[in-house]
Amino acid sequence: MPPVTKLLIANRGEIAVRIIRTCRAMGVGTVAVYSEADADAQHTRLADTAVAVHGAPGRVDYLDVPALLAAARATGADAIHPGYGFLSENAAFARAVLDAGLTFIGPSPDAIAAMGDKVAARARMQTAGVPLVPASGVLAAEPLVFTEAAATIGYPVVVKAAAGGGGKGMRIVHDAAHLPDAMRAATREATAAFADGRLYLERYLQRPRHVEVQVFGDAHGRIVDLGERECSIQRRHQKIVEETPSPAVSPELRAAMAEAAVRAARAVGYVGAGTVEFLLDETGRFYFLEMNTRLQVEHPITEWITGIDLVREQILVARGEPLSFTTVTPRGHALECRLYSEDPAHGFLPATGTVRALGIPSGPGVRFDGGIATGTVIGVEYDPMLAKISTWGTTREEARGRMLVALRDTVVLGVTTNRDYLRAVLEHPAFVAGETHTQFLAEHLEGWRPARRAGRDLAAVAAALALMAPASGDGPALAAEPSPFATLAGWRAGASS
């Protein structure tokens, strides 16, 4: 079996940094790759070796497969970890890595391909007995056909266009009386939009929760679950707060979801770390959404409650070793917040700039996974996630309290972040009550603006003190160098008083 002695990480940012840390702890050598924009990035400094992969014309740097394989060859790396995003769920890349005689840290290309085709995956899950959102096939445009199909699926239903997309031809219907009209309107709309009026029905999930199950398979046929993560707090379908266990999942439901997740993984002969995503409705029924055939962004919260290093386990499994644990005994509660360089008060617009000062949270039960340092330039090239802050507590409330302190201690100066928005989420009574669902932000934090803080005037005094030329009483370090603010244009000072 392949040894994995030197690992090339085909990724950047916090996940590259996180993988390097585990490699170092295991005595595995590391190779970082970097784009032109990332020449000074944190992951390049931490790896044993760093190779520039400036994408060939027409290729994006971290997606340039020939360049990545060449970097592995040149450095003598015997394995490649794709991280998440980029090439992590690209079956052709996994195949190319294997064909180059290297170990791919992830499932087989076949498993990636099987779950990557969402329609085929759905059919496969149906065969495997994994619950899917109840839906009809394409229906004849007859009121009776629709009402019969809806009765089988159960209300509320959503009428969808077979050629659909963008909400066109979609109608949410709560009872049989309104179904014929909705059918006729949706037919018209779908015909106009797609020149294809065919429709089908699907159960409409009101305020579903996003609950996913972490699974792990080894090359010896063992597949285990490592509990669920709830990731319902999303903006634009992107998760920003995650937790485990889910406040909505009972022990019985947990067992049922875990069983379904393992069945899903087994159906594709899964080896390695994977995540089976489900939607959980308000009545406690759950439905397969998709399977992510890679490490998830939010994997640290599973590590918190299980005590298992998932990246270490990935490497062991890639070496052909059996999973290192026999039982998983989750303990306590963990939360994760994603720190983004964006402005939540202005439509979550991405923010750019240079990190001029960085405060990293620490303390009991606090973990910081970041890819930034003082001086890091945040540009427009890549995903705006700067770091993940995760906390653990014996109870949800303890983890939440620790998270609020950790967020307070997370200081990024020079780049606007969503830090205070995250604090508002954590402090919201509905979050405290565990009433989290995918509509949470739309229902509770629409139009959020930062509040005026008590320390504002004192902060203005601190700014004014910094602006003032250093007086004679200052220490030698300051007196020796000019004030960094001396050249600040546009500042208006009145007469000295």
Partner 1 sequence: MSLHLTIDGEPVEVTLVRTGDRFEARVGETAYAGTLRRHGETMRLQLGDRIVAATVVRERDEIWVALDGEIYRCAAAAEERDGGHAGAAHSPRVTAPMPGKVLDVVVREGQTVAAGDPLVVLEAMKMETVASADAAGVVRKVHVTAGTLVEPGQLLVELELS
Fill in the per-residue mask, 321 to 350: x = in contact with partner 1 (CB under 8 A), - = not in contact.
-------------------------xxxxx
Q: How far is CA 459 from CA 193, 307, 319, 413, in A?
A: 55, 41, 54, 14
Which window, 49-57, 179-187, 300-308, 483-491, contacts partner 1 (CB under 8 A)?
483-491
Decide if 267 contacts 55 (C-beta within 8 A).
no
Which residue number, 185 or 349, has a Cβ lying nearer to partner 1?
349
3-state secondary structure 126-195: HHHCCCCCCECCCECCCHHHHHHHHHHHCCCEEEEECCCCCCCCCEEECCHHHHHHHHHHHHHHHHHHHC
Would you count residue 484 as binding partner 1 (CB under 8 A)? Answer: yes
Q: Least Å distance between CB 329 and partner 1? A: 35
Q: Interface with partner 1 includes 455 (CB under 8 A)?
A: yes
If you write DSSP's letter for every residue of 238-286 in order, what string do you get?
EEEEEEES-TT--HHHHHHHHHHHHHHHHHTT--EEEEEEEEE-TTS-E
User: Peptide bond before 484: cis, by omega within 30 degrees of 0?
Assistant: no
Q: Which is nearer to partner 1, 309 or 383 (CB)?
A: 383
* Burial of residue 122, with CB atoms counted within 10 A of its CB: 0-12 exposed, 13-18 middle, 19 or more buried: middle
Dihedrals φ, ψ of 393, to 5°? -150, 165
Choice between 251 and 455, CB closer to partner 1: 455
Q: How far apart are CA 175 and CA 184, in angstroms?
A: 15
If one asks whether residue 419 binds partner 1 (CB under 8 A), the answer comes out as yes
Q: In the complex, what is the shortest distance from the CB of residue 23 to partner 1, in angstroms, rounded to a whole number? A: 28
Is residue 460 a contact residue for partner 1 (CB under 8 A)?
yes
Sole binder of partner 1 in the list 58, 447, 473, 476 (CB under 8 A): 473
Q: Which residues of 403-433 are buried (b: 16+ CB within 10 A; e: fewer)?
A: bbebbeebebebbbbbbbbbbbbbebeebee
Written as six digits, the tokens of 271 are 């080896």
CB of 84 to partner 1, least distance (A): 14
Stretch that binds partner 1, among 67-75, 217-225, 315-323, 463-471 (CB under 8 A): 463-471
Selected binder of partner 1 within 420, 426, 437, 440 (CB under 8 A): 420
Q: Which stretch binds partner 1 (CB under 8 A): 68-76, 328-336, 351-359, 386-394?
A: 351-359
294 is catalytic: yes
Strand partners, 491: none
Is 427 among the residues that bind partner 1 (CB under 8 A)? no
- Which residues are CB-contacts of 324 (< 8 A; sequence separation ≥ 6)? 308, 312, 313, 316
Residue 463 engages partner 1 in binding (rule: CB under 8 A): yes
Residue 456 binds to partner 1 (criterion: CB under 8 A): yes
Query: Is 192 one of the binding residues for partner 1 (CB under 8 A)?
Result: no
By CB under 8 A, name the one of 384, 387, 391, 440 that touches partner 1. 384
In whole angstroms, the minimum distance from the beta carbon of 34 to partner 1 comes to: 18
Among residues 119, 380, 433, 480, the one that binds partner 1 under rule CB under 8 A: 380
Tell me how far apart the alpha carbons of residues 333 and 329 are, in angstroms, rounded to a whole number.
12
DSSP state of 378: E
> Within 10 A of 459 (CB to CB), how many other CB atoms are there?
10
Site for partner 1 in 60-99 (CB under 8 A): none
- List 18, 235, 294, 419, catalytic entry: 294
- Interface with partner 1 includes 237 (CB under 8 A)? no
**Applying CB under 8 A, does 359 fall inside the site for partner 1?**
yes
Shortest spacing between CB 393 and partner 1, in angstroms: 20
**Can you tell me the distance from the alpha carbon of 70 to that of 10, in angstroms, rounded to the nearest whole number?**
12
Residue (117 or 485) nearer to partner 1, CB: 485
The only residue of 74, 411, 432, 442 in contact with partner 1, by rule CB under 8 A = 411
Strand order in the sheet with 199-203: 171-173, 157-161, 199-203
Tokens of 322: 């059996």
Instruction: Compute the residue count for the chain.
Output: 497
Q: Is 447 in the site for partner 1 (CB under 8 A)?
A: no
Q: Name which of 429 and 475 has its Cβ closer to partner 1.
A: 475
Q: Which two tokens stand for residue 423?
A: 């604090």
Beta carbon of residue 315, minimum distance to partner 1 (angstroms, whole number):
29
383 binds partner 1 (CB under 8 A): yes
On whether the CB atoms of residues 306 and 376 are closer than 8 A, the answer is no
Q: Could you give the residue numbers annotated as active site?
A: 294
Summarize as ranges the residues that interact with partner 1 (CB under 8 A).
Answer: 346-354, 356-357, 359, 380-384, 408-409, 411-415, 419-420, 450, 452-453, 455-468, 470-475, 477-478, 484-485, 488-497
